[in-house]
Amino acid sequence: MGKQAADDLDLALRALADGNRRAILRAIRTSPRPVGAIAEELGLSQQTTSHHLGVLRRAGLAVDAREGTRHLFAVDTDGLAAVRSYLDDFWPQRLADLKAAVETREARTSITHPPQEELKPRQTQEARRHG
C-alpha cells in the first residue's frame, strides 16, 4: 500500500471511530439527505451534524451535492470500498487459522471421545457377557 493510500485509510478509519459519524453513515446509506433531516433523526444539533459530515467528506466516506438551496449528503461507496478492501485482507488468514483450530480440536476430541457408533458394539458385547 502506497503512502497516499495509507494516509487515506487512516483518515477513513479515524472518521469511523466516532459513533455519531457511523450513525450518520447509516442515516444516509439508502438515499441522499439534507443536514437538517439527519440532525433531527439522530437528535444532534445541525452544527454538530455539519461538523461530522465534514469529517466524513474529508475522509472520502460521504459526498454532498446541491439541490437548489439544500446540500444533500450521501455515502461515498468508493471510500467505503477502500476500507472494506483493507479489512478483507485479514480474513483469508483468520479463516485458515480458524479452520486449523477446529480441525485440531476435532482430532483431539475423536481420540478422547470416540464416536457413539464405535461404542455401541463394545457395550452390547459387554452386556451379553454380564447379562
- Confidence class for position 116, pLDDT limits 50, 70, 90: low
pLDDT at 126 over 70: no
Q: Model's pTM, two decimal places?
A: 0.67
Of the candidates 50, 56, 63, 48, which has an alpha carbon nearest to the alpha carbon of residue 22?
56
Where residue 108 falls (left for φ over 0; alpha for ψ -120 to 50; beta otherwise) is: alpha
CATH of 1-81, one of 3.40.50.970, 3.40.718.10, 1.25.40.10, 1.10.10.10: 1.10.10.10
Quick: pLDDT tens for 20-35: 999 999 999 999 999 9
Domain ranges, ordered by start, for the chain: 1-81
Greater pLDDT, 118 or 54: 54
